[in-house]
Amino acid sequence: MTAATTGVLVILSFIFFLVLFLGGIWVMALAQSLEDFQAIVFVAGLLLTMLALAWVMRQSGSATRRHKNWTGSPTE
């Protein structure tokens, strides 16, 4: 069992993901109500959302078995 699969770290990682993901969506929605700098605020929200998704997919191995992606075997 690695450190990334222990209970407390998984919960903290999920909370961090949720804050980034929902925060990014909120920032994108906020951009619609601004009069100035709409594009900059929208892109910032988009980057937060992308960072949240990258945070989730950073770990090797999981239900998708990403740690075996590049072995070359077509049966994996």
Task: Assess whether pLDDT exceeds 90 at residue 62.
Answer: no
Helices 38-57, 7-33: axis angle to 10 degrees equals 160
Residue reference for tokens 């998704």: 53
- Rounded Cα distance, 43 and 5, in Å: 32
29's tokens: 């929605």
Task: Assess whether pLDDT exceeds 70 at residue 17.
Answer: yes
60's tokens: 């090797």
Q: Where are the beta strands (DSSP E) in the chain?
A: none
- Rounded Cα distance, 25 and 45, in Å: 6
- pLDDT per residue as tens digits for the range 18-52: 999 999 999 999 999 999 999 999 999 999 999 99
Task: Assess whether pLDDT exceeds 80 at residue 15.
Answer: yes
Q: What does the mean pLDDT of the chain come to?
A: 80
**Res 38: pLDDT:** 95
Task: Assess whether pLDDT exceeds 90 at residue 64.
Answer: no
